[in-house]
Amino acid sequence: MRRVTSLLLLALLSGCSGRQAEPEGPAPTPRPETVAEATGADNLPEVTLPETERTEEERAALRIDRLEIRVDPTSIREGETATVTLGAYDAAGERVTGASGQVFVVGEAAEIVGDGSAVVGRRPGEARVTILVEVPASASRPARTLREEAVLEVLPARVTRLELVIPEAALFAGARYLASAEAWSDVGPRAGAEIRWASSDESIVRIGAGGTMFAVSPGTAFIEAVADGVTADAEIQVVANPIRRLRLDPPETSVRTGDVVHFSARALDAGGVEVPDAPIEWSISRVGGTGQVAATIGGHGAFVADDPGLYRITATVGSVSEVAEAAAAPRPPRRDVTLKAHGMVPPEAGATTDLWVFEGTDGRDYAYTGTMAAATMYAWDVTDPTNPVITDSVKVDGRRQNDVKINADATLAIITSEGASNRRNGFTILDISDAAHPTVITHFTEGLTGGVHNVWIEGEIVYAVHNGTNAVHIVDISDPANPVNVGRWQVENPARSLHDIMVLDGLAYLSYWDDGLVVLDVGAGIKGGTPIEPQFVSQYKYRTQHGAESYGNTHHAIRYRNYVFLGDEIFGCSECVNGPRGHVHVVDVTDIESPREVATYRVPEAGAHNLWAEDDKLYVAYYQGGLRVVDISGELRGDLYRQGREIGWYMTEEAEGHNSNKTDAWGPQPYKGSIFVSDFSSGLWVVELEDPRQELVP
């Protein structure tokens, strides 16, 4: 995302823009939809206007030979500012004024503030403060873009205080405990601060670089944490260890890979009385095997095996330990996914985007699919899933219909618009009482002219993801012919980028790119939110490594049971040699105010797009990885792909189509025993997940 503001090049360029969010690493390549929108642009004739028809800004731009931009100092800390100096010069070195240009910051490390004469550090990293001027074509040379950058280094803010987190009870001699320190600066939490630990008496308690304390012998000592010269300390009391034995339950178990077993350990004293608050340490080893231990166990004894095998689970407190064993068998083999039908859109439609499958008011089944650049939505009759038939189409001014949604009683549909010729985007409300032949009720643009990327319909409310504000706009459609804006919500981050939204049981789940998952109360009664006045509940942010780079890129979030499944969408990374990357993060929201990631699903060398969860199955349109079906029954932890929870896949590839012989799975939806998939390159697919294979018994 890039935020820019046009400005006039005065004696010194000045103006305001914002920043252009970019992953940490190489500059990204265009997304497929961006490329699709630009198709044909290179074939347009270049027009040179007569000099008398040029604006003053264009005549000034034609004089520019070079641009200049400087930041001073070139290295600042978070929250500090640097001065920005800008200029434009002709071939003789004379300053040019009056041309129109743009100033912005590439990267998330900094942001231009005020009148454009300063830039403020926002997060550690490198920012490229950039000036850009578009020079029109002239009789002597073609149109060109002039661009100049100045590199600004943003260092972490200095630590101003430390808060220690230590066990409340006395430590048992011979046992290990964990201390932690939360570092804060004047601008907020100071992630990644280097903290040095020390003990006042190592004969009583020792503490390592990571905060692990070892209680040596009874007594009292102080531990100290130091960061950037700031110190915090705490008194530690060590007492004699009363624990004499541990009892582990269950002592042995047999499971499948991916199944979670909760072991419990009771600490007992010499009289067999349970000792509370025992600092149990858990570990795993492989029995009769070598190499990496493909299993994990959490701090509370939750065990899951990624690979089959026999595992030994050990619970330890000081010198006392106990073991249990877990035998992990493979999960059932993948099931066949077979083709029922493949429907192609007309050649002029180009690329296909999202889909929605539903039962119409006439009792027949329909699928609606959008297009990337044809300004058209197609209606399909899929009552016979082996023979999908296009019954009609709706064309609007807004060449990209990225999303299509249907209301609960199948009387209204909404299609989104981006790239309208008149720059009046928004969304279109359709009457689908005759679902085979939808008709336009109205095209709503108020406050949404920057383009709507995705929507969600909840009763008589539409939640629209607006590209212009990167906020969710709330629209009342109780009178479909006269929609009314009734609310808006956004994260307070100038570089925010909102991509999608889902609403379920009074909670909205926003896919907020580098701001991660944001959960809002829109009627659940948790924080007093209403459908038109959302209230913040929680947020989960993350960074994913791909090679040397890290990304946020939360693209699509769906809620199922006590989990939210988050899909990444990553283009342009150093690993993206055959297309996008990105995987599915599994976030436990049992405590909705404290989301935590517990599992992942990651197909090698492919990138996730849209998701659907139903009947304990996760359906993922995995771009070049095709359709993937994943078993999400029971408790989820660890690496779902490695565990064998993937139960089926299908490559949506066709020799003919918008992009021949290419799989580009975009959106999945299970429906009445079939699985419908829209493919960016090849239209609509209908497949079926076959029953599990029967084992032959000799």
| 3-state SS record for 9-62 | CCCCECCCCCEECCCECCCCCCCHHHHHHHCCHHHCCCCCCCHHHCCHHHHHHH
Quote the CA–CA distance of 485 and 502 in Å, as a whole number.
19
pLDDT for the residue 123? 83
CB atoms under 10 Å from CB of 450, counted, come to: 16
For the chain, report the end-to-end CA distance as a whole number of angstroms.
Answer: 61
Write out the two tokens for 639.
């690496």
pLDDT for the residue 12? 33
Write out the two tokens for 595.
């989301």
If DSSP codes are grouped into helix, strand and coil, which group holds residue 184? strand
For 695, residues 6+ apart whose C-beta sits below 8 A from its C-beta are none
CB atoms under 10 Å from CB of 157, counted, come to: 24
pLDDT for the residue 139? 81
The percent helix, strand, coil of the chain (3-state, each to 5) is 5, 50, 45
540 DSSP β-pair partners: 517
For 157, residues 6+ apart whose C-beta sits below 8 A from its C-beta are 77, 78, 79, 185, 186, 187, 190
Tens digits of residue pLDDT in 354-413: 999 999 999 999 999 999 988 899 999 999 999 999 999 999 988 888 999 999 999 999
**Closest C-alpha among 610, 622, 684, 618 to residue 651:** 622
> Phi/psi at 41 (nearest 5 deg)?
-65, -35
**Closest C-alpha among 230, 263, 224, 226 to residue 247:** 263
pLDDT for the residue 26? 35
For 672, residues 6+ apart whose C-beta sits below 8 A from its C-beta are 365, 385
pLDDT for the residue 111? 86
Quote the Cα angle for 218-223-225, to 5°: 165
**Closest C-alpha among 256, 329, 306, 332 to residue 690:** 332
Please give the DSSP secondary-structure letter assigned to residue 606: -
pLDDT for the residue 1? 24
Please give the DSSP secondary-structure letter assigned to residue 114: T
**Closest C-alpha among 449, 530, 524 to residue 486:** 530
Quote the Cα angle for 131-137-143, to 5°: 45
**Exposed e or buried b per residue across 319-351, where buried means at least 16 C-beta atoms within 10 angstroms of its C-beta:** ebbbebebebeebeeebebeebbbbbbeeebbb
Strand residue runs (E) in 136-257: 144-155, 161-165, 171-172, 176-178, 180-185, 188-189, 196-199, 205-207, 212-215, 219-227, 230-239, 245-249, 252-256
If DSSP codes are grouped into helix, strand and coil, which group holds residue 103? strand
Torsion of CA 566, 570, 574, 580, to 10 degrees: 100
Does the N-terminal peptide bond of residue 28 adopt cis geometry, omega within 30 degrees of 0? Answer: no
Strand residue runs (E) in 445-528: 452-458, 461-466, 471-476, 484-489, 500-504, 507-511, 517-521
Write out the two tokens for 132.
């850009």
Tens digits of residue pLDDT in 669-694: 999 999 999 999 999 999 999 998 77
Q: Using CB atoms within 10 A of its CB, is residue 500 exposed (0-12), middle (13-18) or buried (19+)?
A: buried
Write out the two tokens for 339.
């083709």
**Antiparallel, parallel or unpaired: β 230-239 and 219-227:** antiparallel
Low-confidence ranges of the chain (pLDDT < 70): 1-53, 289-291, 695-698
